[in-house]
A = this chain, B = another copy of it.
Amino acid sequence: MTTFQAKIYVTLRPSVLDPAGTAVRSGLEHMGYDNVDQVRIGKYVELSLSAESEAAAAEQLDRMCDQLLANPVIENYRFEISATH
């Protein structure tokens, strides 16, 4: 078994409104940053998992994202995996 480090990025689908992003953009504008646009807020998850291979880790991460870490109806996800030594 190898230990892998995974970085998972969960983002709202482009068609889904992002009220938190709109609020941050508005807050930035009130602070004087009026050159900022298209603020979208997502989640960033780091975890480690042990698996037989990188392919097995990726397959498990896909299931974990679909079942718990992301809401596939409104969110997309992608991840990066690296073996830790």
CA distance A52 to B83 in the complex (A): 39
Question: Which residue of B11, B27, B48, B69 is within 8 Å of A68 (Cβ)?
Answer: B27
Task: Verify if A16 is at the interface (C-beta below 8 Å from B).
Answer: no
CA distance A47 to B46 in the complex (A): 21
Could you mark each residue 31-64 of chain A with 1 if its beta carbon is under 8 Å from any beta carbon of chain B, else 0?
1010111111111111111110000000010001
Binding site for B on A (CB under 8 A): 1, 9-11, 21, 24-25, 27-28, 31, 33, 35-51, 60, 64, 67-69
Additional A-B contact list (4), CB under 8 Å, known A35-B51, A36-B49, A38-B47:
A28-B64, A36-B47, A37-B47, A40-B46
